[in-house]
């Protein structure tokens, strides 16, 4: 008994310790091996963006050209993202109502603003009591499209091109007039920039919309107006009005024979109206990157290009950084023009 007892007390603890050490090593190895796999499992189980509908706030009423473009882009983005893109029209106050609503939304990638030159680059100078600075309150997602205006005059006006119009205006300072859709509108500011760069004195006549201004242009009651290419192309083609120049840096595909104002004696003249997508400041970069990537695919589609052309617009692809630079550039460009015009909406 004594010998058995001695053997048991001297060998069993050592064996147990060895066995325990082996088990611990095995468990440690198991944890180290399986932990990354478990983490990957959790990551794959986490919902990816987007996993619910996206709201697209449009700063103008339903049925207009901006709304039509927003719905076109929203429809195709929905197909790319696999989630509904719901258009929310918030018209009024020159787009400031929509801008404020979008800026106040949670910055999670599920609220976007269909931004325009007016809402992002002109309104900060046009409204003195903005609750939201659109340049600072949003992250740029990407530009969508651009369009230009065209300078038209009644057939009765004795000017066949920009140089002749400028010469006529200098002969009769204060006698010629230009109509617009209202103070601060793109066609108003196009006229103010033209007036400034040409060094002429022409009188602004604001209307409640472009249609009313165009009616008076046809009747010869105003001397000229700037209007969108899409609105004027049929009247120019039928000879009801004369087109003197388009406002963009390049000729319009819809009016290839009409020169730019820049090449007609006013180098550097460029009024390009753009549209884009903006998100509330602080939106996750991954969401912005995904949205921009899918937007580029949408803008590259042939049917989208065709439908944009029907609206008088051209695709304007680019990165979020490209769009941000465009906003910053135009905000700085329009500030002195608005100030010189004296236009204000509050």
CATH code, domain with 260: 3.40.190.10
User: Is residue 164 left, alpha or beta, with left meaning phi > 0 and alpha meaning psi from -120 to 50?
Assistant: alpha
On whether both 252 and 152 belong to a single domain, the answer is: yes
* Higher pLDDT pick, 45 / 220: 220
pLDDT score of 25: 59
State how far the alpha carbon of 290 is from the alpha carbons of 5, 50, 73, 80, 142, in Å: 74, 9, 15, 10, 11
Q: What mean pLDDT do residues 205-221 have?
A: 94
Q: Does residue 176 carry a pLDDT above 70?
A: yes
Residue among 37, 339, 19 at smallest CA distance from 189: 339
pLDDT score of 154: 98
Q: Coil, helix or strand for 235?
A: helix
Residue among 119, 87, 118 at smallest CA distance from 103: 119
Q: Does residue 10 carry a pLDDT above 60?
A: no
Rounded CA-CA distance 129/302 in Å is 42
For residue 115, being part of any structural domain is answered with: yes
Contact 256, 150 (CB under 8 A): no
For residue 142, being part of any structural domain is answered with: yes
CB atoms within 10 A of CB 346: 10
Rounded CA-CA distance 171/169 in Å is 5
Contact 111, 102 (CB under 8 A): yes
pTM over 0.75: yes
Q: Does residue 329 carry a pLDDT above 80?
A: yes
Tokens coding 170: 């200098």
Mean pLDDT of the chain: 89
For residue 36, being part of any structural domain is answered with: no
Which residue spans within 126-209 are E strands per DSSP?
138-154, 177-180, 203-206
For residue 256, being part of any structural domain is answered with: yes
pLDDT score of 38: 47
Model confidence at 155, pLDDT cuts 50, 70, 90, reads very high
pLDDT score of 33: 52
Q: What mean pLDDT do residues 150-167 have?
A: 97
On whether both 140 and 286 belong to a single domain, the answer is: yes
Q: What mean pLDDT do residues 20-42 have?
A: 49
pLDDT score of 4: 33
pLDDT score of 54: 98
Domain count, the chain: 2
Residue range(s) defining the domain that contains residue 60: 54-147+272-341
DSSP 105: S
The DSSP-derived string for 38-71 is HHHHHHHHSPPSP-S-EEEEESS-TTSHHHHHHH
Residue among 322, 312, 335, 333 at smallest CA distance from 148: 312
Model confidence at 20, pLDDT cuts 50, 70, 90, reads low
For residue 110, being part of any structural domain is answered with: yes
For residue 5, being part of any structural domain is answered with: no
Q: Coil, helix or strand for 228?
A: strand
Rounded CA-CA distance 313/326 in Å is 17
Q: What mean pLDDT do residues 185-191 have?
A: 93
Where does a domain end: 264, 281, 298? 264
CATH of the domain at 285: 3.40.190.150
* Higher pLDDT pick, 345 / 143: 143
Q: Does residue 104 carry a pLDDT above 60?
A: yes
pLDDT score of 96: 95
Give percent above pLDDT 70 in the chain.
87
For residue 90, being part of any structural domain is answered with: yes
What lies within 8 Å, CB to CB, of 175 at 6+ separation is: 169
């Amino acid at each position: 008994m004594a010998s058995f007892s001695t053997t048991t007390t001297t060998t069993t603890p050592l064996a147990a310790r060895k066995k325990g050490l082996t088990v611990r090593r095995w468990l440690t190895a198991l944890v180290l091996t399986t932990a990354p796999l478990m983490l990957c499992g959790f990551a794959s189980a986490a919902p990816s963006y987007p996993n619910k509908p996206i709201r697209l706030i449009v700063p103008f009423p339903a049925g207009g050209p901006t709304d039509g473009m927003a719905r076109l882009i929203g429809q195709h983005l929905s197909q790319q993202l696999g989630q509904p893109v719901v258009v929310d029209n918030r018209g009024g106050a020159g787009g400031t109502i929509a801008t404020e609503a979008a800026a106040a939304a949670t910055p999670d990638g599920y609220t976007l603003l269909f931004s325009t030159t007016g809402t992002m680059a002109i309104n900060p100078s046009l409204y003195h009591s903005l609750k939201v600075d659109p340049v600072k309150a949003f992250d740029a997602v990407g530009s969508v499209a651009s369009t230009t205006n065209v300078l038209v005059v009644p057939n009765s006006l004795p000017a066949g091109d920009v140089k002749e119009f400028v010469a006529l205006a200098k002969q009769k300072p204060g006698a010629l007039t230009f109509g617009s859709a209202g103070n601060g509108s793109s066609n108003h500011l196009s006229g103010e920039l033209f007036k400034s760069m040409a060094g002429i004195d022409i009188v602004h006549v604001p209307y409640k919309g472009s249609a009313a201004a165009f009616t008076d242009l046809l009747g010869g009651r105003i001397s000229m107006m700037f209007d969108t290419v899409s609105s004027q192309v049929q009247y120019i083609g039928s000879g009801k009005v004369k087109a003197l120049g388009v406002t963009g840096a390049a000729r319009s595909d819809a009016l290839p024979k009409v020169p730019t104002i820049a090449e007609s004696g006013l180098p550097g003249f460029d009024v390009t109206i753009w549209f884009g997508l903006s998100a509330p400041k602080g939106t996750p970069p991954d969401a912005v990157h995904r949205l921009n990537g899918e937007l580029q695919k949408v803008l590259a589609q042939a049917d989208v290009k065709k439908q944009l052309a029907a609206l008088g617009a051209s695709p304007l692809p680019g990165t979020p950084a490209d769009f941000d630079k465009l906003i910053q550039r135009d905000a700085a460009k329009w500030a002195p023009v608005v100030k010189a015009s004296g236009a204000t909406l509050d």
